[in-house]
Amino acid sequence: MNFFQAIVLGIIQALTEYLPVSSSAHIRIFGDLMLGSDPGAAFTAIIQIGTELAVVLYFRHDIINILSHWFSCLFGKNGKDIKSRMGRGDYYATMGWNVIIGSIPIVIIGFTLQDIVETALRNLWITVTVLFLFGILLWVVDARARQSKTMADMTYRDAFLFGLGQSLALIPGVSRSGGTITVGRALGYEREAAVRLSFLMAIPAVLGSGLLEAVKAVKNYKADALFPGWGPTIIAMIVCFILGYIVIIGFLKFVSTFSYKAFAIYRIGLAVVVAILLLLGVLPAIDPSVAAAA
């Protein structure tokens, strides 16, 4: 991977990370088209740090309030009873617990199925299938769901369900935002509320996985045939950060006015195009280096 290719992949990551279209699927597909191989799970996870740092910057005030209120309640400044320590009546402290609860599923499933995620699940036929199916699901759910819940209405049960939706993103093609947004809309959350909750829920999971992959890459970069090197990876991460911040602003404005129908149609169309490329032999279903690793 040269620096130009890294910049292109960084742009693709930034444009697709927050949208319900699956950034990992796009990196997998365009990586094959440009490089003739899968850029790999480590590269994908590390450049996601860039897009997630953009989320941290955009939601910095919310994050500061969540952390300060969460610790304040936990240490008994709002009351010594268990309910007060758990943030009863405090919006930001409760949101902190919701983010923690919502992060549990992806942590457990991610560690349990790590080898499968990095090998077998990167089959493009799986990507095509989930792109298509979740495109239809998002379309149907968004069209039929009510819009009655705001972020303040989130319960621990809803947070866990959001987390389950987020954990589906371990399958390339599902989309982290797509999974959480679909669950949020199914639960009756307003479109913008579902997006904002998706962003906040993703911060621990994405930063955590990215940092873990970075540590692994440092240790094993000489033996990892898929890792493209630190130079291209860091350039792609910087591009993700700068462009990602702009995309967040635009996406939030879009969903406050329009439905997710356009994204659903795009997912279905992309699935059809990739399926044709697979049938024609332009794209391999499984990257040879990934197959060897498996």
Q: What is the pLDDT of residues 205-228, one digit of tens each?
A: 777 777 777 777 667 656 666 667
Residue 134's nearest CA partner among 107, 109, 108, 171 is: 171
Residue 272: the pLDDT is 93
pLDDT for 97 beyond 70: yes
User: Comparing 3 with 215, which gets the higher pLDDT?
Assistant: 3
pLDDT for 117 beyond 50: yes
What is d(CA 273, CA 276) in angstroms, rounded to the nearest whole number?
5
What is d(CA 168, CA 104) in angstroms, rounded to the nearest whole number?
13
Residue 294: the pLDDT is 46
Residue 87's nearest CA partner among 64, 66, 101 is: 66
The token pair at 274 is: 């990739």
Amino acid at 79: G
The mean pLDDT of the chain is 84
- Model confidence at 79, in pLDDT bands (50, 70, 90)? confident
Buried b / exposed e over 77-102, threshold 16 CB at 10 Å, is: ebeeeeebbbbeebebbbbbbbbebb
Residue 118: the pLDDT is 65
User: Comparing 172 with 189, which gets the higher pLDDT?
Assistant: 189
pLDDT for 291 beyond 60: no
The token pair at 133 is: 């199916």
Residue 159's nearest CA partner among 111, 225, 94, 215 is: 94
Stretch among 55-59, 192-196, 264-268, 281-285 having the lowest mean pLDDT = 281-285
The answer to whether 91 and 66 have CB atoms below 8 angstroms apart is no
Amino acid at 107: V
